[in-house]
Amino acid sequence: MAKAKKTLRLTQVKSSIGYKADQGATLKALGLGKIGSTVEQVDNDAIRGMIFKVKHLIEVENI
């Protein structure tokens, strides 16, 4: 039986305006763009690194 992949639900709660441009680019790479937008991502090291970079702009929930 295959293991179910863990996922994370990411919600943007703050705008990237006023922060460095690379943080806005990281939000776009995660699939976020507007306040209140939500996306589900697979939990892996690359995504965790991107989350760490913009942790002050998003809310993370384990699914």
Mind listing the pLDDT tens digit for each residue in 9-51? 999 999 999 999 999 999 999 999 999 999 999 999 999 999 9
> CA-CA distance, 9 to 18, in Å (whole number)?
24
> For residue 55, which amino acid is it?
K
Q: Could you list the beta-strand ranges (E) of the chain.
A: 7-12, 38-42, 58-62
> CA-CA distance, 39 to 37, in Å (whole number)?
7
Domains of the chain: 7-62 (3.30.1390.20)
Q: Is the dihedral of CA 49, 56, 19, 43 positive or negative?
A: positive
At residue 12, the pLDDT reads 98
- pLDDT for 3 beyond 80: no
- pLDDT for 1 beyond 60: no
Whether the pTM exceeds 0.85: the reply is yes
